[in-house]
Amino acid sequence: MCCCCPCPETSSPSELFAARSRSHKIPVRGQKDFLPDGSEEQRQRLEQSLSEHWSLVSEERVERLGNLVKATWIPGDQMVELQSPAGKFWQTMGFSDKGKQCLLPEEALYLMECGNLQVFYQDLPLSIQDGYERFLSSRTVSLRQYQVFGHLKRLGYVVHRFDASSEPSSYARQLNLPPSRDRAGKQLKRKRSGSPTATATASCSHSEAQEASTAERMEEEEGEEDRKLPESHLTTSAETPEVQTSTATAAGPAGGAGGVGGRSWWAAAVLRAWDQGSSHNPTSASPCWDHRSIPFPDLGSRGVGDRLASPDPSLLPAGVAVGVCNVAPWRRKINLRQVKMSSKEQKGRRRWDVNKDKQVRRCRNWAEYQELQARRRGGRRKGRPAHLWNAAVAPLHDPRRPIPTKELLDKISVVKSTNLLEGASRLTGSDEWRLCFSVYQPDTVAEFKKSNPGKPYSRICVCSFDGPVPDLRALKLLASQSADVPVVFAVVDQGDISFYTFKDYQLPTDVHT
């Protein structure tokens, strides 16, 4: 055994019994001194502080057996399984697996430290030390991450592990895909109304008809429509490719509607996938594809041959086989020629329509128009020096054309401001920087639901002063993974934890109108 004397770390039955009525107060620390002066008074104060310190630190956890939840450690699964009914902590911690109540190692360790849980392994209770040494590893959470977890839990926050797969992928967000099935209906409905995806199938026209009705009615029937949507879209996209291509071409001239039409088609495909995924495997939580690893053929690029290889069978519904696809007829329908426009043309299109000009409308033929243009150029020459305006590099703005100050400021700002999320979706993940925890505020604990936790208060990335400061790439990456939830960096320095956050700042423009 460890030493000749009886181990002071274990309490005798009488000590255990006596511990039931011990104090739960923490002695207050007095004012600190500036310099040690070797006085007896100072020595005594130090001695008293130290003895209080040691008695606090050496105190053992003693609990009534009836107040302890019993559990076992399952090293293979790296989790803790409850053996007796869970306590109040179940509202915010733990998960059910095949009808069993389980805790993640960090949750179990925290509850052990709080004196709520007794974990057994091979029929023997684990000490707090066992918990630290067995539960914390690179497979679960590191000691540093646990320090942050414990710190936040002790403050009363609800802390869950961050699960990237439960978040919509950057691709899905970029396309504005519905984040979950039950919200899909609402989003799609609005988009679809302007899009030409309407087809002749009965169920679809039924829902289109619903849309024609008033907004109030739509709200009422929302639930019903949500359930119908996947099937109606199933029939839509199960039709021949002609429907899809016609959608794309028809949407073209309609301007803004183009993107919308295409978008709802993609969304429908995903909905269909979800629908099938859940019918194959009802227990699996919404199978979300990693769209970064699934290539979509880009028919417009010249590198693609006329024949497309058959897609990965794992992406197809069961029982459907797809052979090599001949894309030559599709490619003929795509206008592959690039439209070239000079910068002047682009500006002109946006800002000013030639047909609105009354003088131009008065011109009866091309020659008169040309004459008018020449006259104007001549007139202009008086106001502005030709050498400034006729060169490749011209002033940003013509001072004789009045526009609102705000527009002018926009026009002359050569370096445009950017935001944190710009271009972030193109970044690939890194091992060095990742989000660890989602944190929910303590005041929401009363109505907190594990199944539907809602939007987190913040997401935590754990790092240390030994490591590098996150660069812009890391910031963008984490911000895009966290979507609209702020990312907080928990910097662990031995026992100290400091929380830092980088905020996207919109520089205000001061315009008097």
Partner 1 sequence: MEDDTSQSEVIGLGLCDSCPLLWRTRDLRTVRSRGLVGSLLGSLPRMPRQNGRLGRPLLLQPEEERLLTELHAAAALTTTDQARGRVEQYEAEQQTSYEQQKILALEDRKSALLRAMTSSQTVPDSGPRTPDEALRGRLEALDRSFTFPRSALAVQLSTVRAGLSHFPEDRALLRADWPIRAQDDPRRDVRYQVFRDLRGRGFYLTSAGKFGGDFLVYPGDPLRFHAHFIVICLSLEESIGVLDVLSVARLGSSVKKTVLLCSPAADGAVLYTSLQWSGMV
- Using alpha carbons, select from 158, 156, 146, 148 the residue that is nearest to residue 499: 148
We find the least distance from the C-beta atom of residue 46 to partner 1, in angstroms, to be: 5
CB 489 within 8 A of CB 463: yes
| Packing angle, helices 202-212 and 215-238, rounded to 10 | 160
Please give the span between the terminal C-alpha atoms of the chain, in angstroms, as a whole number: 84
Distance CA(168)–CA(170), nearest Å, equals 7
Q: How many residues does the chain have?
A: 513
We find the least distance from the C-beta atom of residue 29 to partner 1, in angstroms, to be: 7
We find the least distance from the C-beta atom of residue 12 to partner 1, in angstroms, to be: 8
We find the least distance from the C-beta atom of residue 160 to partner 1, in angstroms, to be: 18
Q: Are strands 458-464 and 437-440 parallel, antiparallel or unpaired?
A: antiparallel
Distance CA(109)–CA(142), nearest Å, equals 13
3-class DSSP state of 205: helix
Classify burial at 290, counting beta carbons within 10 Å of its beta carbon; exposed 0-12, middle 13-18, buried 19 or more. Answer: exposed
Nearer to partner 1 among residue 45 and residue 191 (C-beta):
45
We find the least distance from the C-beta atom of residue 111 to partner 1, in angstroms, to be: 10
Nearer to partner 1 among residue 1 and residue 507 (C-beta):
1
Nearer to partner 1 among residue 135 and residue 433 (C-beta):
135
Nearer to partner 1 among residue 475 and residue 491 (C-beta):
491
3-class DSSP state of 446: helix
Nearer to partner 1 among residue 21 and residue 214 (C-beta):
21
Distance CA(266)–CA(270), nearest Å, equals 6
Strand partners, 169: none
We find the least distance from the C-beta atom of residue 95 to partner 1, in angstroms, to be: 22
Distance CA(372)–CA(380), nearest Å, equals 12
We find the least distance from the C-beta atom of residue 34 to partner 1, in angstroms, to be: 6
We find the least distance from the C-beta atom of residue 460 to partner 1, in angstroms, to be: 16
Q: Are strands 117-121 and 69-74 parallel, antiparallel or unpaired?
A: parallel
Q: What is the dihedral of CA 472, 475, 479, 482, to 10 degrees?
A: 150
Contacts of 56 (CB under 8 A, 6+ apart): 26, 27
Nearer to partner 1 among residue 149 and residue 162 (C-beta):
149
We find the least distance from the C-beta atom of residue 146 to partner 1, in angstroms, to be: 8
CB 445 within 8 A of CB 92: yes
Nearer to partner 1 among residue 122 and residue 283 (C-beta):
122
Nearer to partner 1 among residue 54 and residue 352 (C-beta):
54
Nearer to partner 1 among residue 148 and residue 260 (C-beta):
148
